Amino acid sequence: MRPSLAAARWAAPGRNKAGVNGVRGIGGLDEFGLIRHLTARLPQAGDGVRVGVGDDAAVVTPEAGAELVLTTDALVEGVHFSPAFSDWTDVGYKTLAVSVSDVAAMGGTPRWAVVSLAVPPGMALSDLERLYDGLGACAAEYACPVVGGDIVRTDGPLVLTSTVAGTVPAGTAVRRNGARPGDVVFVTGDLGAPAAGLDLLQHGGQVPEDERQFLIAAHRRPRPQVTAGMVLRACGATSLDDVSDGLASELNEIASASGVRLRIDAARIPVAPAVRNLARLRGVDPLMYAWYGGEDYQLVGTAPPFAFARALMRLSSLRIPIAQIGRVEAGDGVIADVDGRLEVIEPRGFNHFAT
DSSP 233-278: HHHT-SEEEE-SS-HHHHHHHHHHHHT-EEEEEGGGS-B-HHHHHH
Cβ–Cβ < 8 Å for 122, 18: yes
Q: Is 172 annotated as a binding residue?
A: no
Asked if pLDDT for residue 5 goes beyond 60, the answer is no
Q: Is 132 annotated as a binding residue?
A: yes
Give domain status of residue 25, yes or no.
yes
How confident is the model at residue 42, as a pLDDT?
82
Q: Is 116 annotated as a binding residue?
A: no
Q: Examine the domain organization and report whether 225 and 283 are in the same domain.
A: yes
Helix H or strand E segment including 127: helix 125-141
Give domain status of residue 355, yes or no.
no
Structural domain ending residue among the three candidates 135, 169, 203: 169
Asked if pLDDT for residue 311 goes beyond 90, the answer is yes
Q: Examine the domain organization and report whether 157 and 190 are in the same domain.
A: no
How many independent structural domains does the chain possess? 2
Give domain status of residue 148, yes or no.
yes
Q: Examine the domain organization and report whether 143 and 18 are in the same domain.
A: yes
Q: Examine the domain organization and report whether 47 and 93 are in the same domain.
A: yes
Cβ–Cβ < 8 Å for 225, 320: yes
Give domain status of residue 314, yes or no.
yes
Q: Examine the domain organization and report whether 216 and 132 are in the same domain.
A: no
Domain of 219, CATH number, reads 3.90.650.10
Asked if pLDDT for residue 45 goes beyond 60, the answer is yes
- Classified as helix, coil or strand, 190 is coil
Q: Is 242 annotated as a binding residue?
A: yes
Q: Is 244 annotated as a binding residue?
A: yes
Domain of 25, CATH number, reads 3.30.1330.10
Structural domain ending residue among the three candidates 138, 169, 200: 169
Asked if pLDDT for residue 18 goes beyond 50, the answer is no
Give domain status of residue 227, yes or no.
yes
pLDDT tens track for 193-215:
999 999 999 999 899 999 999 99
Q: Examine the domain organization and report whether 165 and 188 are in the same domain.
A: no
Mean of the per-residue pLDDT values of the chain: 89
Q: Examine the domain organization and report whether 204 and 165 are in the same domain.
A: no
Q: Is 90 annotated as a binding residue?
A: no
Q: Examine the domain organization and report whether 190 and 157 are in the same domain.
A: no
Domain that holds residue 64: 5-169
Q: Is 343 annotated as a binding residue?
A: no
Q: Examine the domain organization and report whether 159 and 28 are in the same domain.
A: yes
Q: Examine the domain organization and report whether 206 and 339 are in the same domain.
A: yes
Q: Is 149 annotated as a binding residue?
A: yes
Asked if pLDDT for residue 6 goes beyond 50, the answer is no
CA distance 146 to 148: 6
**pLDDT band, very low/low/confident/very high, at 49 (cuts 50, 70, 90):** confident
How confident is the model at residue 287, as a pLDDT?
97
Q: Examine the domain organization and report whether 157 and 197 are in the same domain.
A: no
Q: Is 219 annotated as a binding residue?
A: no
- Lowest mean per-residue pLDDT among 43-57, 111-125, 266-280: 43-57
CA distance 26 to 22: 12
DSSP 153-187: E-SSS-EEEEEEEEEEETT----STT--TTPEEEE
What totals of helices (H) and strands (E) does the chain contain, helices first?
11, 13
Asked if pLDDT for residue 11 goes beyond 80, the answer is no
Q: In b/e form, how buried is each residue of 288-312, taking b as 16+ CB within 10 angstroms? A: bbbbbbbbbbbbbbbbbeebbebbb
CA distance 299 to 217: 19
Mean pLDDT across 266-282: 97
CA distances (Å), origin 13, targets 28, 37, 104, 122, 340: 11, 21, 46, 16, 70
Q: Is 37 annotated as a binding residue?
A: no
Q: Examine the domain organization and report whether 148 and 269 are in the same domain.
A: no
Asked if pLDDT for residue 88 goes beyond 90, the answer is yes
Structural domain ending residue among the three candidates 116, 135, 169: 169
Asked if pLDDT for residue 17 goes beyond 50, the answer is no
Count Cα atoms within 13 angstroms, Cβ side, for 90. Answer: 15
pLDDT tens track for 22-37:
235 687 778 778 888 8
Q: Is 350 annotated as a binding residue?
A: yes
Phi, psi (deg, nearest 5) at residue 252: -65, -35
Cβ–Cβ < 8 Å for 103, 164: yes
Give domain status of residue 351, yes or no.
no
Q: Is 203 annotated as a binding residue?
A: no
Share of the chain above pLDDT 90, in %: 74
CA distances (Å), origin 85, targets 51, 166, 307: 37, 30, 41
Q: Is 355 annotated as a binding residue?
A: no
Give domain status of residue 212, yes or no.
yes
User: Beta-carbon neighbour count of residue 256 at 10 Å?
Assistant: 15
Give domain status of residue 349, yes or no.
no
